[in-house]
Structure formats: structure tokens, C-alpha cells
Amino acid sequence: MNKLDNFKAGFIKENPVFALYLGLCSVLAISTTLNNAVGMGVAVIIVLTVSNVIISAIRKVTPSEIRIPVYIVVIATLVKIVEMLIQAYATDLYGTLGIFIPLIVVNCIILGRAEAFASKNNMLDSLIDGIGMGLGYTFGLIILSATRQILATGILNFSNPFTSEMMFEVRLIPADYVISLFSTPAGAFLTFAMIAGALEAYKSKASKKVKEVK
Amino acid sequence: MPGLLFLAAMGGLYAALYYFNHKTPIPAGCEVEEVSCHGCSISSCGKHPSQNYTLEVKQ
Amino acid sequence: MAELFTLFITAVLINNIVLTRFLGLCPFMGVSRKTSSALGMGGAVTFVIFGASMFTYALYHLVLNKYGLQYMDLITFILVIASFVQFTEMIIKKYSPALYKSLGVFLPLITTNCAVLYVALDNIKQGFDLIETIVYSLAVPIGFTLVLYLFSAIRERLDLSDVPAPFKGNAIAMVVAAIMALAFGGLAGLV
Amino acid sequence: MFKKALHFTVFLALLSGLAGGALAYVNSITAPIINENAIAAEKVNLVKLFPGTSEFAPLEITNDETGFIQSAYTAKDAGIAYKVQVMGYANPIVFMVGISNDGKIVGLEILDLRDTAGIGTRVEDPEFKDNVVGKTTTDPLAALSGATVTSGAVIRGINAAKAHFNDSKGIDDGGGSDDPVTPPLVFGDPVGIFSNATASAPAEILEETTDGDVTTYLVASKGYAVLEGGYEGAKPNVFKIVINTAEKKVVSMELVEFNDTTGLGDKIDHEDFWAQFEGLATDDDSIEIDVVSGATVTAISAARALRGAIGE
């Protein structure tokens, strides 16, 4: 039960993106379309899960004094492998994410989970933690990207990253009422601030309720 | 193969430098800066709470 | 010469690394509370980006590219950057406590700063020659320092103002960053 | 302390070696696929250059001194396609040029061009392509007059591809120059030496020396700078005209001092232009020359100078 709660907390209250401010760089930069968000999210889930498992597996033999360098080597290798795979099998996605794929190496969330969780827990728990945190990150990324894409273009669409085939496309706002500001960097910061503020407001409201019930 | 050896050498160099750097004590009067660093999530940072390695050495 | 100047201005103002590329945001949020520490951070970042770019540029062209090891770029760059930071920190810890106090304390923050890796990778991706690499690797951190300094000055004032409770802290900082990004967006027609 | 350090060093070195092995393995799997993808993306253009060929393989470029060639592909049994990037007027130009196995340029596809519309973009016109396509790899190529920067850049790029092709096929191009040859002159309408066009601003004889039958004149004639520019300090052009007074024929004519717009007016300083003057009869008032397209006013100043030298 406790594990499930941890899993759920990663989505809203302890969302790595909006509540913990982890991995901001790539979040803001690639959050222009839903496609990018899903592609980046999947890449991060894979790297995070596999790195969690590997680091947990070698935690007994890793000298604690140099554990950070060990993590960095493991993560860099995984990221490069994922990058090569994306380049080979999802060329379009590679084209849009570009330099932000290698930058997953320095995404704080991966090193953060390695340090805070995988280095102290067994492989199964680390696997679950990796998937949970990765999904939470992807969730945050999707919320931000979808909001920006809808406000900036009025359209929400998603295409298969491997075949570039359009899977669905809906126009939610008439073309005359879209605000292209949200596709610019300023729009990214603004959307992020609003969502983070809303989450904070929701959290404080929820904790007030708990107090009242008590 | 030479690529692997080269990479191994770089990894070794990094480990050695990392170790010796963390062995080198922080000069007197510089520790206070730790307080100025909050809100940042870089856990590889020496000032991050999870990085208690320098404290271990002191003890 | 004119092209190098354009490259410089573009990297500092128009494609500012923090406001348009969103890189280096972690220290941006963390260390931007005081103008003095913003300048210290900026100085340290400039030093590391420049030094690391020189090393990675040489590494790529003298070793990786020569022996067909391009696929090792990411891991070797990370190792070079991390080793460089450790080495520099160790040296100034030992020999210059004064320098350590002003710049060195920020060094551990930088190893996994995305801006450093970004510049190293971008130099290769854009196919820069040595001169362009030098200009670019200086321009990017100068842009970073400029924005970090401006931002910390705004934040010192922001601490005294009445911010809605849910926005206290990082959320309001993001709003400020949005307004700064708008202002810097106005410089886009400069070159 | 050092023992510990050695332990850590060896540990991370081993780990890095493992990591490198894993990377090399994945690279060996993905590299061919990535290569194929790159060709697939390029194939649209490759097929345009070599219609009828569908098998392309990347070709490694090692001996390109210019650095212009980005990549190259061999089209099976057809030739080689080069992707070239050169610096144009303000932006890089990317294009593909195909050279068939028998040493002929078979196609030119401009992929990225951001130079001045109407001037630099003329390299996309049939006029330029026809000038290039069909030539052999040992023929010199001429730039487009009036768009010399952009077309000259493209030609330097093509020359780099030609040099590589000749090198790899062992064709001797006589160490062909990298620079484009001077473009042939494009003539405009004819203008009579004694027409109204030359009457408006009489030329001035500066110096006259006679040596037997041959008289040499130095004549100042108002060109574009004085007539149209009209700015302060604008100077006329000075021509040296040699006339055989016995045969009543023009012997030669040349430009001594040029004061019009560089890059436009100075196009008249071309052997084809001067050739028109040689042999003109000075006692015939219907003689005429062709002006140079794009340098009309300067060309008329030359006609005017001749009128001045011959006299009414």
C-alpha cells in the first residue's frame, strides 16, 4: 500500500517537474508540442528505469566515496544508447528533440533518483521507483506541452513517433483566438509559473481541509 | 579497442581527481556559503544535503 | 570579423542560453538570490564553459573524429567536464582560498549544469572552427552571467514585495523570467 | 590514501571500459540504420540527379582541401553525387551536384539558398544550370555576370566536387583553378558613335601625340559617376584611343582611368568589348558598337570618347 502511495504522489503532490523543479531545462525547451513531450518522456522513463536498476544492482560494490562519478558514467552511457536508438528508429523525433536528448545526462531527476533511492534500495523497488518517477515527469511534461500547444495553435494532435503517421488531431480553439506568445520562450516560463502556482494553491487547500477534518 | 582503453583511462582520471578533490579540505571561512544554496536540485553538487561525503571525512 | 561579432551578439543577447534555450536554469533558480553570488556563479560558469569547450573541442577533433569514435562523444565530454571541474576545484582550494571563496564554492554546482554540456556539444554540432568555438564558448556564459545578474537584482527587490502565497519562491521567479524573456525577445531584430 | 585512490581509479576505469564496450556494440547495430536513414532523406535529391538509379551508397570524403564537400554518394553504375556547402553573399548555400562516371556534370540541385532574391537566386534559373550541366569535369565554369558572388560561390563548390572527382578517377585537370573564369560579356543594344546618345555630353581631349600616321589620344568622357551620380568630386572616365589617320581606322582603345561603379561599369574593360572598336572607319558616320548589358552608361561614355577623338 505504501508503495502505491509513493507511486501516486509522484503525479501531483510530488510531481518531479512542478513540485520538485527537477529537470527544468529540457522540460521548458521541448514542451512545445505533445509529440515532443511524449517522446522525451519515454526517453527519460527508459533511462531513469534502467539506470535505477543498474545502480541498485552495483550498489554493494560501488565505493561510496566515488559513487557520484560512477552514476555519471552509467547514466551517460545509457543516454547515448537511447540517443542512438532514437536516431536509428525514430528519425523525426530525433530531428525535433535534437540536442536535448544528450542533455538528459544532466537532467537532475536521473542523478537525483540514483542518489536518493536506487543507491539504498533493492532492484525491484528501484525499478518501480524509476517507472513511477519517470511517469510523473512525463505527466508534468504532457500537461505543460498540451497547455502550450492548445493556447498557441488551438490544435492538439499526436502522431506516431516511429512512423510519423498522424494518430489524432482536434481543433479546440478557433484559429482567430489563439495566442502565439505561448509558443515562445516567454510563454513557456509563464505557463510553467501558472501551473506550479495552481498546484501549490491546490496543495495548501488540501492540507487545510485535512486540518479541519481533524 | 584503443577507444575502450582511452575511455577507461579517462574514467580512471576522473575517479582519481574526484577522490583527491574531496580529500582536499575546504579553506577556512568558506563553509558559510552552503546556506546560500537552496532551491537547487543538483544532487551531484557538494552542497546538496545528500552529499555528506565531506562530513564523513571530517569525523 | 563581422561574422564573429554577429555570432557573439547572437549568443549573448538573441539566443540567450537561459531565456531562449532554458539551459542553466537550476543554478538560475538556486543561486540568484544575491547579486554577489550571481556574479560569482557567472564567473565560475564562464571559466568552466570556456575551459571545458577548449578541451572537448581538442578531444573531438584530435581523437574521436580521427579514430571514428564519434559515438563516444557524450561520455567522454561528460568525463572531461567533470574531471576539469574537480581538478580546478582542488587546485584553487589548495592554493587560493580567496579565489575559492569568490568562485570556487560554485564549482561543484557546475559539473552537471546543462549549459556546459550544451556548449561543448553545440560547438561540434554547428561545425565551428577553433576561432568560432572560442567566441561562442565565451559569449554563451557571458549571456548567462548577464541574465543571472539582472535576475538576482530583480529578486532582491522581489523579496520585499507582497507575492500571492502559492507563487512564493520559484513560481514568481518563473514569471519574472517570462517577462525578461519577452524583453530579450525584442532584441531579436538586432542582427 | 593512495591505495584507496588506486582502487577507485581502477574501478571507474573498468566501468568506463564496460560502458565503452556497450556503446560500441549498440553503435555497430544502429550505425548502418542511421546511415540508411540519412540516405533515405537525401534520396529525393539523389534521384533527381540520377534518375533511373535507386542504389546509392555513402562515400567517405577524405581528400577535400576546400572543406566545401559535406557528403558524397555513389550512384551505382551512374556516377557520384556531392552535397556541397559554400558561403554565399550572406548565408551558406547548400546544393548537390551530380557527376556521371564519364566525367560530365549531369545535374545541379540547389537545396538551401537565402541570398538576395532576384540577384543571387538567379543560380536557380535555367540560364545558370544550362551553363553548368553538360560540361565535363575539366571544363572551366563561368560565374553569372551581375550575380558573381552567389554564382561564384556555387562554382567554387562545384569545382571542389570536380577536383575530388578528377582526383579519385585519375583524370588530369591540369591543376584547374578553384576560381570561376570571367563570365563572357553580355551585349545590349547597339549605339551609334555619332548618334544623339553621344552628342549630349561631349568628351574632352586631354592629350594628343602623333607618331607618323598613328595618333594617340587621351580622352576624358563623362560616365555614370558624373552624369547620373552627380556627386561632388565625380570624375569622368579616361580612355586611350589610337587612330591611324592615314587609313582612317581605329587601331585600339583601352580604359586608362575608371571612375564609375566598381563591379558594374568596369565590365566594359573586357577584350570582347574593345574588339568592337578595332578597325572602325573614322570617316563613316554610321559606325556603331554594342553596349554592355548592365554597364550601358559606361559603355556609352566609351563611344562618346571615340566621337571626341575623331572629331565632328
A13/C contact by beta carbon, under 8 A: no
Whether the pLDDT of residue B32 is over 70: the answer is no
The pLDDT of D234-253, averaged and rounded, is 87
**Contacts of D64 by beta carbon, 8 Å cutoff, 6+ apart:** D160, D163, D164
The pLDDT of D305-310, averaged and rounded, is 85
Residue A194: CB atoms within 10 A of its CB come to 17
Give per-residue pLDDT as tens, A49-76: 999 999 999 998 888 888 888 999 999 9
The pLDDT of A104-112, averaged and rounded, is 84
Residue C135: CB atoms within 10 A of its CB come to 18
**Cβ–Cβ below 8 Å for D16 and C71:** no
User: By CA distance, what is B23's nearest residue in A?
Assistant: A65
| Count of domains observed in chain A | 1
Q: Do A4 and A100 meet the contact criterion of CB atoms below 8 Å apart? A: no
Give per-residue pLDDT as tens, D71-101: 888 888 888 889 888 887 767 788 899 888 8
| Average predicted confidence (pLDDT) for chain C | 86
What are the structural domain ranges in chain C? 23-190
pLDDT band (50, 70, 90) for residue B18: confident
B26/C contact by beta carbon, under 8 A: yes
Give per-residue pLDDT as tens, D175-189: 555 666 666 677 878
Q: Do D83 and D97 meet the contact criterion of CB atoms below 8 Å apart? A: no
Question: What count of residues does chain A have?
Answer: 214
pLDDT band (50, 70, 90) for residue B47: low
Whether the pLDDT of residue D310 is over 90: the answer is no
What are the structural domain ranges in chain D? 56-169, 187-310
Phi, psi of D220 (to 5 degrees): -95, 125
pTM for the model stands at 0.71
pLDDT at B54: 41
Query: What does the block give as the cell for A181?
Result: 506568445
Query: What does the block give as the cell for D310?
Result: 575623331
Note down the domain range covering A15. 3-213
Q: Three-state SS string across C126-166, please?
A: CCCCHHHHHHHHHHHHHHHHHHHHHHHHHHHHHCCCCCCHH
Give per-residue pLDDT as tens, A133-174: 899 899 999 999 999 999 988 888 888 777 777 888 888 888
The pLDDT of D148-165, averaged and rounded, is 85
**Cβ–Cβ below 8 Å for C75 and D20:** yes
Whether the pLDDT of residue B35 is over 60: the answer is no
Cα distance from N-terminal residue to C-terminal residue, chain A? 23
For C113, how many CA atoms within 13 A lie in the half-sphere containing its CB?
34
pLDDT at B45: 54
pLDDT at D179: 66
pLDDT at B58: 37
pLDDT at D208: 87
Whether the pLDDT of residue A178 is over 60: the answer is yes
pLDDT band (50, 70, 90) for residue B59: very low
pLDDT above 90 covers a percentage of chain D that reads 5
Cα distances (Å, whole numbers) of residue A4 to A24, A31, A126, D144, D231: 26, 28, 14, 72, 85
pLDDT at A43: 92
| Residue of A68, A110, A115 for testing the chain B interface, max B β-carbons within 10 Å | A68
Counting DSSP H helices and E strands in chain C, the numbers are 9, 0
**Cβ–Cβ below 8 Å for B5 and D17:** yes
pLDDT band (50, 70, 90) for residue D36: confident
Query: Could you give the 3-state DSSP secondary structure of residue A169?
Result: strand
Distance CA(C89)–CA(B47), nearest Å, equals 14
Give per-residue pLDDT as tens, A5-37: 666 766 777 777 777 777 777 888 888 888 889
pLDDT band (50, 70, 90) for residue A183: confident
D250-253, long-range: CB < 8 A, 24+ apart: D250/D277, D250/D278, D250/D279, D250/D280, D250/D282, D250/D306, D251/D214, D251/D278, D252/D277, D252/D278, D253/D277, D253/D278, D253/D302, D253/D305, D253/D306
The beta-carbon neighbor of B22 closest among A65, A72, A112 is A65
